[in-house]
Each structure stands twice: as structure tokens, then as C-alpha cells.
Amino acid sequence: MPTPVLASTRAELASLLDAHRGAGRRVGLVPTMGALHDGHASLMRVARDQVGDGPVVVSIFVNPLQFGEGEDLDRYPRTLEADLAVCEREGVDVVFAPAVEEMYPGGAGPRDPDMTTVQPGGLADLLEGASRPGHFRGVLTVVAKLFGLVRPDVAVFGQKDYQQLALITRMSADLCLGIEVIGAETQREPDGLALSSRNRYLSDGDRAAALALSRALRAAQERAAYGVPAARWAAMSVLKSEPGVELDYLALRAADLGDLPDHPEAGTVGRILLAAKVGTTRLIDNMELRFS
């Protein structure tokens, strides 16, 4: 059978996975919205390491429920042929690429007011959740559906969407789903730009301006030894010096996204996270902070 096998219905997916499960193999899932890049490829490699000769499943689904009014649902890149080539290169076994009606059956689709959805905890109201109300309800609902359809042993998500990763980890634990959620490191261009499907919207000028994001995060890392206000100030001065960046938020939080005191105990690991508009494109990025 050619690799990967493409399943577009839930029934096709189930029959492909039954054979593997019958043989007692571990199943790995990498949920994506497509427009795959090297960051996604690295998630597939992490999944492969986890499941050995078990199947790695990549889902490709642009989930309408996680996009708000006026967001980029319609223009989000859909590049199935190129995505299949990435999956083939990475030795993915199954690509699940359903239509919207397959994931949200019934006439009303993803906006069905009677549909059961996953309501995230308070962590979803901060940061991305404050700027994009309802976004994480949409993310957790579709990820729960994918977990139900694939029933993976392990699922791999990128740390670039750090808050999403934290919420999915909590969902798996809180709802006793029994799925190990792994966060894989953010992949970057040599000049520091975090890989993102949305980078393809950037003009050359936008792309140059967008480098201020990773520069700001690195500046904060370098000042973390002096405490949270110093680290924040270092990041802000980089961002303010780049007129092409319109900052949405910059936050320094504990690793679990809880509050941080101004001067955390030595050894504390935190996170600095930001979102900004560059041209017409909204980008997010984050890095670890080590306080000494």
C-alpha cells in the first residue's frame, strides 16, 4: 500500500486503524490544519519516535469552529497535494483529511447550537483567549473529536501554540482521555522567525519586521536573571523600535501560565508569550525564561 493512505471519511479511518490496533501497535496522532511546513514535519518525527512501527496519523482539517468573525478562515491556505508530499517524506502512515460535513455532520454544521462542545477552563480566557473569544472552545472540541476518531496513544502538538498545548494537556487529564500529549519544540528559520503556516501571508517588508518578535523574546531571555520587569522591558524596547509590529499582548507567565512574581526564586522556569499583527497577519510566538 502506498504511504500515506488518505482517508477522507470516518469509516475509512476506522477501518485503516483497526488493522493496526488489532496487531497491538501504538497509534500516534499529529493534528494539523494543513499548509504543512518543517515545523509540522518535526511533530511527525516526534510521533514516529513514540510509536515505533505503529501508525503515525496526521489529520488535516481547517476547523471552522475555532475561527472568529473576520478571522482568516476563508483565506487559510489549503494545500493538500503539497501536504501529502510532506507526509510521504516523513513516512506518515495515514492522512485523515475530512470535509467539514464529515467532522460536523447534520444540517447545522459547526454552528449547531445544540451540538456538544468542550468548554475549556479559565486558562482559555487569557492571552489568545482574550483576543479570540471562543477560539479554544473550537480547538478543544475538534481535538476531542479527533481523539475520539483516532483513539491515539500519543498526540503531538507544537510548543509554538503554547497555550493551546497547555489546554489540550489539561483536557486529556481532566476528561480522563488517557492520551499522552507531547509538546514539541518550535522550529525556526535561521534568522529566528518561528515557522508558521501564516508566514506565507507576509510580504518581504512584513517578514523583515516580524523578526522583531523572536528578537524581543531573546532579549527577554537575556535579561531574565534581573527579574520579570527587566525581562519585560527588554522585550518591549525591541518591539517598540519596530514600527511594522502592532503588539496585541506580551505576557510573562509561569510555565503552567499561572502568575509570576516580579522576582521568581532561582531556578524558576517561566514563559514569555506574545501576539502581534504584522501587516495584515497575526503572529504568535513564545520562549522559555529561566530565572536565576
Residues annotated in the binding site, as ranges? Answer: 33-40, 66, 158-161, 164, 195-198
DSSP3 helix / strand / coil % (the chain, rounded to 5): 45, 20, 35
Binding residues for beta-alanine: 66
Least distance between ligand PAF and beta carbon 146 (Å):
8
Task: Read off the C-alpha cell for 32.
Answer: 494539523
**How many C-beta neighbours within 10 Å does residue 266 have?**
9
Q: Which is nearer to ligand PAF, 50 or 63 (CB)?
A: 63
Neighbours of 229 (CB within 10 A): 12
Contact 187, 161 (CB under 8 A): no
Return binding residues for (R)-pantoate. 66, 164
Nearest to ligand PAF of 64, 279 (CB atom): 64
Strands (E), 109-244: 154-158, 180-184
* Nearest distance from C-beta of residue 282 to ligand PAF, angstroms: 14
Angle, CA of 225, 231 and 234, to the nearest 5° = 125
Considering the complex, state which of residue 63 and residue 159 has its C-beta at the smaller distance from ligand PAF: 63
Phi, psi at 50, each rounded to 5°: -75, -35
Least CB distance to ligand PAF at residue 40 (A): 9
CB-CB contact of 166 with 93 (8 Å): no
Instruction: Single out the residue of 261, 241, 242 nearest to residue 253, CA to CA.
Output: 261
Grid cell digits, residue 63 = 476547523
User: By the criterion CB under 6 A, which residues form the site for ligand PAF?
Assistant: 31-33, 63, 66, 139, 142-143, 161, 164
Instruction: Give the Cα-Cα-Cα angle 220, 223, 225 (nearest 5 degrees).
Output: 125
Residue whose CB is less far from ligand PAF, 158 or 270:
158
CB 61, min distance to ligand PAF, A: 6
| Active centre residues (catalytic) | 40
